[in-house]
């Protein structure tokens, strides 16, 4: 293979020789003359990449088609203007905000748990833990991310909620609080691991600069290292929020399945994902308006995470530019 592949240098040499004898330099086409085997590999690799793109396009196509069918029967004004979501009732209402509020509420609770704990774990692992503790703790924590979410869901329902009820007596058996907290615990390793990578990547020179100025190790961490790692931390946070918004099993099991427009963490709510599970597992016939609601909800969910990601990318780019 290596004999038949012409490197640019190998091509340039005879060309230079030709120029010396007064003839025109040879055209560079020889560089592109790749053997059949390489062309096949290139095509195969392209197909691998294209597969995921076409899958995404396919999903978008179905989502778009079904959503359009849904909106031919339900006004978008009702969809965005109502706060009641009762598509299975005799008197149907299609106010998406009842589901959006459930998603936003549980995600906010999850982030309120995951962000401080994840970030502080990352600081500990990267800056303070002795290297042996770090070698043991980091994989252990990442193991937490491997627990199936259904286990987390039942943990929220049967352990965390009863414990919380001891403190908050009027907490419902299904509630946003327990589900949100457990979802946060699930996300801690993700934030901790990604933030730890970002903190670890901060050059030692910056730490030394701060130490050399007489900063303590804590003020070095919080005044210099964390700000320098902020684009990585922002990226970790974004991924975590997307994960929280998309999380399905925990909220389907522990948060209840009652769509309501509320930000009260004590009562049952239903998230967008939990609603999709409820309908797709229930006995609603396909092709009906009731069934199409899940595509409309899915499209809204997609839009939500899409906006999040665009926002986060801009944020990360802005930080990268600054530092």
Partner 1 sequence: MNAPEATGRFEADEVDAWFGTKQVLRKVNLLIPERRITAVIGPSGCGKSTFIRCLNRMHELVPGARITGRIRLDGENIYAPEVDPVLLRRRVGMVFQKPNPFPTMSIRDNVLSGLRLTGALDRSRAEAIAEQALRGAALWDEVKDRLGEPGIGLSGGQQQRLCIARTLAVSPEVVLMDEPCSALDPIATARIEDLLSELKARYTIVIVTHNMQQAARVSDRTAFFLTGELIEVAETDTLFTSPTDRRTEDYITGKFG
Contact residues: partner 1, CB under 8 A: 131, 203, 205-206, 208-216, 219-220, 223-224, 227-228, 230, 322-323
Q: Which is nearer to partner 1, 50 or 209 (CB)?
A: 209
Is 152 within 8 Å of 255 (Cβ atoms)?
Answer: no
In the complex, least distance from residue 234 CB atom to partner 1, rounded to whole angstroms:
12
Q: Which is nearer to partner 1, 235 or 245 (CB)?
A: 235
Q: Which is nearer to partner 1, 138 or 207 (CB)?
A: 207
In the complex, least distance from residue 308 CB atom to partner 1, rounded to whole angstroms:
24
Q: Which is nearer to partner 1, 28 or 320 (CB)?
A: 320
In the complex, least distance from residue 79 CB atom to partner 1, rounded to whole angstroms:
42
Q: Which is nearer to partner 1, 24 or 204 (CB)?
A: 204
Q: Which is nearer to partner 1, 227 or 246 (CB)?
A: 227
In the complex, least distance from residue 196 CB atom to partner 1, rounded to whole angstroms:
18
Two structure tokens written together for 88: 């299975």
Q: Which is nearer to partner 1, 176 or 224 (CB)?
A: 224
In the complex, least distance from residue 230 CB atom to partner 1, rounded to whole angstroms:
7
In the complex, least distance from residue 217 CB atom to partner 1, rounded to whole angstroms:
8
Is 231 within 8 Å of 155 (Cβ atoms)?
Answer: no
In the complex, least distance from residue 131 CB atom to partner 1, rounded to whole angstroms:
8
């Amino acid at each position: 293979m290596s004999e038949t592949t012409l490197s640019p240098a190998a091509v340039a040499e005879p060309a230079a020789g030709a120029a010396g004898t007064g003839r025109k330099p040879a055209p560079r086409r020889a560089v592109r003359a790749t053997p059949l085997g390489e062309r096949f590999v290139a095509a195969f690799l392209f197909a691998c990449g294209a597969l995921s793109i076409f899958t995404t396009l396919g999903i978008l196509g179905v989502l778009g088609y079904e959503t359009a069918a849904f909106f031919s029967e339900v006004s978008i004004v009702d969809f965005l203007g109502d706060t009641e979501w009762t598509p299975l009732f005799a008197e149907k209402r299609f106010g998406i905000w009842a589901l959006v509020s459930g998603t936003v509420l549980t995600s906010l609770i999850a982030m309120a748990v995951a962000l401080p704990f994840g970030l502080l774990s990352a600081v500990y692992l990267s800056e303070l833990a002795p290297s042996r503790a770090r070698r043991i703790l980091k994989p252990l924590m990442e193991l937490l991310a491997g627990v199936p979410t259904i286990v987390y869901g039942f943990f929220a329902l049967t352990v965390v909620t009863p414990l919380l009820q001891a403190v908050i007596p009027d907490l419902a058996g299904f509630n946003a609080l327990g589900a949100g907290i457990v979802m946060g615990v699930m996300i801690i390793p993700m934030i901790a691991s990604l933030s730890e990578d970002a903190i670890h990547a901060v050059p030692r020179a910056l730490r030394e600069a701060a130490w050399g100025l007489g900063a303590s190790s804590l003020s070095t961490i919080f005044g210099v290292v964390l700000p320098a790692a902020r684009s990585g931390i922002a990226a970790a946070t974004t991924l975590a929020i997307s994960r929280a918004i998309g999380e399905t099993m925990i909220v389907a099991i522990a948060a209840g399945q009652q769509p309501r427009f509320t930000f009260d963490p004590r009562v049952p709510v239903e998230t967008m994902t939990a609603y999709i599970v409820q309908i797709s597992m229930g006995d609603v016939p396909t092709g009906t308006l009731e069934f199409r609601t899940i595509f409309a909800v899915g499209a809204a969910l997609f839009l939500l995470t899409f906006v999040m990601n665009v926002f986060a990318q801009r944020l990360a780019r802005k930080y990268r530019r600054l530092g």
